[in-house]
Amino acid sequence: MQTDSSFTFVLFGGTGDLSMRKILPALFEAHRAGGMLADSGKIVAVARHATNRGEYIEWVNEHVKPHVSKNGVDETAWASFLERIEFVNIDLGKAEDFIHLRDAIKDLPGIRVFYLATGPSLFVPICHALASVGLNENSRIVLEKPLGYDLKSSNAINDAVGEIFAEEQIYRIDHYLGKEPVQNLLALRFGNALFEPLWRREWVESIQITIAEELGVEARGDFYDNTGALRDMVQNHLLQLLSIVAMEPPHSMDSDSVRDEKLRVLRALKPIDPRDIGKVAVRGQYHSGVIRGTAVPAYATESGVRPDSTTETFVALKVEIENWRWAGVPFFLRTGKRLADRVAEIVVNFRAVPHSALGASALRAGANRLVIRLQPNETIRLYCLAKQPGEGMNLASVHLDLAFDQFFREGQMEAYQRLLLDVINGRLALFVRRDEQEAAWRWVEPILNEWKVSNKPPKPYASGTWGPAASSAMLAQHGTCWLEEEN
């Protein structure tokens, strides 16, 4: 991905956790690779927790450097990367301070990218302050999730930002869309005649999408206790992955063609009747337990969490899509913290053969299955049935593996690296359009409202397990179960 696009990348929240762990390391990797970032491109960090450039560079060396290059840091590349970085100390709550930012970047070259790695409460004030000094013109703005607390608050932010930036200037980031296996899902479906004829209700029995974490809320208790798993993971990551799995073939890979097809899926999601939420939605909260031999505390005792909190740390949903391709096929979504493993994957369960000419062992061995793993190791695995060696026709499940790190010699590009390069180069296909976001909130909101009205506590589950038993029971009603394999 070569570019000669000059740029000025302004990073609000330059000393925040996201900047430290993801954004600056991703920009370094693009710099180190050579040719991905224009030589004239500059990174301007904006923060209050440093007073000058020298102090900020010290912070970068201490906090960012440990997160870059798994195989060690190329010191020459690191030194030249630091030369790209400038620093501006301003108070984001004072619009008049943005004059200093304008003056600091007025002579810097190329397209201006403003990355808001801040809390959502600052999105609108920052945009107004940028407009007050004329920095909203000929620029791009990147908004991190969460974008709002519900449909109303999301619309309020989008309305306010939309008064200052045109839709084609706004990049709403969802890092799961930048992951290599998600890109390969598009290639798998739309680049191969083998799979597309099977990608429909006649041949697919069910689809599972799981994003599981071993970690708890860590130092984010205050934020998470006012958010919960449904807002934090389902409304964005899981529904975006579902829309890519279920979308129709776009006529091209340009930004609006892809996003138009995703929007059609989101609008086709079957609305959930509040009376049925107990049957199709499971919410849980982790209690104390053991993960990889280490005792971990209950959610209610985490720092920043209310002791009587009813916030969910686990959600499992049964979703249906009301269109010609997917009518009658259940999509099962699952996400949670303090689960048995860290894994993100898509599982396509194909229907069994209509008649077992090969005997009972074919039925016991199971049907075909395609597993697309997004993390921790990025693979695509196709499960088929084959005859076991020896006498008789005894079948067993075998699999074909595509492990990207083994097949492709060059290193994998991290999600944030790909997405930041797309922002710099003006590619919108992997970013969420406003109407997509609205459709997702509109579908999620009845669940949120019913949980609030009913005030039922979430179902408990021990840390280190796969969540409440009710999650497995929901799938058992449909004659299936969650795929739970060890990495």
Provide DSSP, 166-192: -GGGEEE--GGGGSHHHHHHHHHHHS-
Contact between 262 and 436 under an 8 Å Cβ cutoff? The reply is: yes
Catalytic residue among 100, 237, 355, 478: 237
**Residue 167 within a domain:** no
Segment 74-85, tens digit of pLDDT = 899 999 999 999
Q: Tell the residue number behind the tokens 């790190």, with chain if given.
A: 405
- What contacts 399, CB < 8 A, 6 or more positions away? 381, 382, 383, 384
309 CB neighbour count, 10 Å cutoff? 19
**Residue 429 within a domain:** no
3-state secondary structure of 88: strand
Catalytic: 237?
yes
Same domain? For 101 and 189 the reply is no
Report the CATH number at residue 197.
Answer: 3.30.360.10
Of residues 112 and 397, more confidence is placed in 112
Of residues 385 and 71, more confidence is placed in 385
Number of domains in the chain: 2
For the full predicted model, state whether its pTM sits above 0.75.
yes
Q: How far is CA 84 from CA 41, 44, 72, in A?
A: 7, 8, 20
Contact between 208 and 246 under an 8 Å Cβ cutoff? The reply is: no
**Residue 151 within a domain:** no
pLDDT at 486 > cutoff 60: no
**Residue 485 within a domain:** no
Same domain? For 268 and 209 the reply is yes
Mean predicted confidence (pLDDT) in 25-50: 91
Cα distance between residue 321 and residue 341, in whole Å: 29
pLDDT band at 1; cut points 50, 70, 90: very low
Of 96, 119, 144, which residue sits at a domain end? 144
Same domain? For 86 and 229 the reply is no
Angle between helices 24-33 and 75-82 (to 10 degrees): 120
Same domain? For 184 and 307 the reply is yes
**Residue 423 within a domain:** no
Same domain? For 298 and 385 the reply is yes
Q: What's the token pair of residue 369?
A: 């299955």
**Residue 265 within a domain:** yes
**Residue 198 within a domain:** yes
Could you tell me the residue range of the domain that residue 283 belongs to? 177-412+434-476
Segment 195-254, tens digit of pLDDT = 888 999 999 999 999 999 999 998 788 989 999 999 999 999 999 999 999 999 999 888
Same domain? For 111 and 183 the reply is no
Chain centroid to CA 357: 43
Q: What's the token pair of residue 93?
A: 């709550």
pLDDT band at 459; cut points 50, 70, 90: very high
Quote the mean pLDDT of the chain: 91
Same domain? For 192 and 267 the reply is yes
HEC per residue, 272-305? CCHHHHHHHEEEEEEECEEECCEEECCHHHCCCC
Pick from 7, 12, 5: nearest CA to 87:
12
**Residue 418 within a domain:** no
Report the CATH number at residue 117.
Answer: 3.40.50.720
Cα distance between residue 61 and residue 57, in whole Å: 6
